[in-house]
Structure 1
Amino acid sequence: MFSQPDAYQEQMLNDNQIKEPIHCHMEHSLPDKPIARPHFHDAIELLYSFSGSTRVFVSGQSHKMEAGDLIIINSNEVHAIYAEAGTDVEYLVIKLDPEVLYSTSRSIFESRYVLPFTLAKSSPKTLLTKNEIAHTTIPATIAKIMEEFSSKDYGFDFAIRIHICTIFLAVLRHWRETGVPIGMMDAISDADFQLMRHVFTLLETEYSSLLTAKEAAKSCNLSYSYFSRKIKSITGRSFTELLNYVRITEAEKLLTTTNATITDVAISVGYSSTSYFIQQFKQAKHISPLRFKKQLQRTALSKNQTFLS
């Protein structure tokens, strides 16, 4: 139906073929230069800045990352990165398979902590500033990760996994202490987690079909009324709202990484009506899909984006 420009294709292939569960490198850039074009991948990505000023676009939102700041990019969130004017940019990039945050048992107990970075598809907060995390263990843990990658001593990969989990725990605790809503109840039962696993799998695999709440309830062996109440009580959203959220997220990927028309995108993510898709997109992103696409294109042009990743 549509294709990706060559530069985007190369970026996508690189980011979707991560060979190891954890990848880490230092990114360096001169000021006022593009670093990464709009793309997405299955990995969760952390950016920790050491110098310079960087503009990071995540799911249509712009964030200015300065020295000492931490950016959290969720699994499958569209993002792009540019070095702003000023001094040279240097930041640490950590990409990890979501499985890294689980033990081998992939327990329900751990799921309650990992879900905000995976199934929810959008972190409660993308940017954590230097001042916000100064009194957490994050800066010291980042230093330990860099030391392990530099020395590559025996067991360094295991040590890095532990340090990464420490960072995510510190983030979750910081959110809880500062009143940032994570989106799912702390007291959720194991049975409810199992239900949500099934529902999110259904959303991820069937969002492009004419999926309804009644069909989802049937798939979960529940009555429509009970299913609807349960989903609302756990997530704070109706099933239809969750479905639209996933569809808009997928639409955002197509708008930023392909040459698809608005109608093509609407059909591809499961909307039978282009006008309804536009309405839902504007409601979610506060901008029309066409303006969203043009805005990213203008940003790319203003940054003289002529590189291949």
Structure 2
Amino acid sequence: MFDQSQAYKEKKVLGNEIKQPIHCHIEQSIPDRRIASPHFHDAIELLYGFSGSAYVFVSGQSFRMGPGDLIIINSQEVHGIFAEKGNDVQYLVIKLEPEVLYSTSRSLFESKYVLPFTMAKSSPQTLLQQIEVANTSIPETINNIMAEFSKQDYGFDFAIRIHICSIFLAVLRHWRHVGITVGMNDDLSEDDLVLMRQTFQMIENQYSFPLTAKEAADACNLSYSYFSRKIKAITGRSFTELLNYVRITEAEKLLTTTDLSITDIAVSVGYTNTSYFISQFKQAKHISPLRFKKATSKSI
């Protein structure tokens, strides 16, 4: 089976002023050139445009980022960046491990706010345009982050962590204000959150092997019918839909970062039948895996 560590992963940029789990830097590029080839990483990434414009490829879609626009790239999402013709491109890059969004301990109360950013394509919006961002506290928060970097006063790294959390809060409140849902019920009990995290972790660890809802229910010490109803109520998707979603997301990474055949990729992400994999991929992405691979290599 393919070892996913062979796939290209983003290298750390030298000169990182804040060590992991937070990384911030200003990216600059001349026009009409590739800034970053398709890659993925565990960190959540925010891009905030200052000047020029760039095309940001995220999980099979292309977004144009201009001044004042905010791009949200979830953990494990395949993405790449290409500077558009015209002016020089400059934007702020903020990368953070998901744990940064939690308090000292990973409280279950906070999980429902953080989870939309921790699974690839689980957040409802990748690009927030300048007209949307301007109506939030995000521009002021970005200015505060830049000021902290400039002054580097005592505790500036801690201050930047607080500002980053403020950006995510502003995004969540914006979504709620405009009626965008994140696919989870607000009235979640602690037991629901425990089940959700346990199920997601199970899928992430075992997606490449045969896994059924009955086996997942047994692992959670729940009946199949209760487990299935709960997962659907919490996430809006069935267990099988969640499993296929993760498998397709993993397939995206291999399609864009390796030279594996479609059949090898299908096997690597848990499909025993290549035709079924192709049909599931087309249903999720509205494009075949082969065309997706070719389109990606041309666009970035």
State the match for 2:109 in structure 1.
109
Q: In 2, distance between residues paired with 1:252 and 1:119?
A: 14
**In structure 2, C-alpha distance between the alignment counterparts of 1:131 and 1:42, rounded to whole Å:** 29
In the other structure, the counterpart of 1:56 is 56
Structure 1 segment 267-286 matched on structure 2, within 5 A? 267-286=267-286
User: Could you tell me the TM-score, scaled by structure 2's length?
Assistant: 0.95
RMSD: 1.8
Deviations 1:114-141 (A, max 9, x none): 0110146432100001100112100000
Tell me the residue number matched to 1:141.
141
Confirm or deny: 8 A CA contact 1:2 1:259 kept in the other structure: no
Distance (whole Å) between structure 2 residues aligned to residue 12 and residue 89 of structure 1 = 20
Distance 1:198 1:2, change over 3 A: closer
Q: Unpaired segments of 5 or more residues in structure 2?
A: none
Residue 105 (structure 1) shift: 1.6
Note if 1:189 corresponds to 2:189: yes
Do the aligned partners of 1:271 and 1:277 also contact (CA within 8 Å) in 2?
Answer: yes
- One-letter amino acid of the structure 2 residue matched with residue 52 of structure 1: G
Seen in structure 2, the aligned counterparts of structure 1 residues 96 and 127 have a Cα distance that, compared at 3 Å, is: same
Deviation digits for residues 232-284 of structure 1 (CA, Å, limit 9, x no counterpart): 11111100000000000000000000111000000000000000000000000
Counterpart code for 1:248: I
Cα distance, 1:298 vs. partner?
1.9
Task: Report the TM-score when normalising by structure 1.
Answer: 0.92
Deviations 1:86-112 (A, max 9, x none): 111000000001100001121111111
Task: Specify whether residues 2 and 245 from structure 1 end up closer, same or farther in structure 2 by C-alpha distance, changes over 3 A only.
Answer: closer
Work out the CA distance in 1 between the residues paired with 2:19 and 2:205: 24
Q: Distance in 2 between matches of 1:259 and 1:289?
A: 13
Aligned to 1:164: 164
Q: Would you say the 8 A contact 1:59–1:252 is kept in 2?
A: yes
Paired residue total:
296
User: In structure 1, what is the Cα distance between the partners aligned to 2:230 and 2:2?
Assistant: 39
1:80 lines up with 2:80 in the alignment: yes
Q: CA–CA distance in 1 between the matches of 2:283 and 2:38?
A: 22
Counterpart residue number, 1:261: 261
Corresponding residue SS for 2:57: strand
Partner of 1:118: 118
Q: Which residue of 2 aligns with 1:71?
A: 71
Aligned to 1:200: 200
Task: Measure the CA separation in 2 of the matches of 1:110 and 1:82.
Answer: 35
* Pair 1:215 & 2:221 matched: no
Give the whole-Å Cα distance in 2 for the aligned partners of 1:119 and 1:60.
Answer: 15
Structure 1: how far apart are the matches of 2:87 and 2:158?
Answer: 35
Output the amino acid matched with 2:228.
S
The CA deviation at 1:12 is 3.6
Deviation at 1:299, TM superposition (A): 2.2
| 1:77–1:122 contact (8 Å) kept in structure 2 | no
- Counting aligned pairs with the same residue, the percent is 71
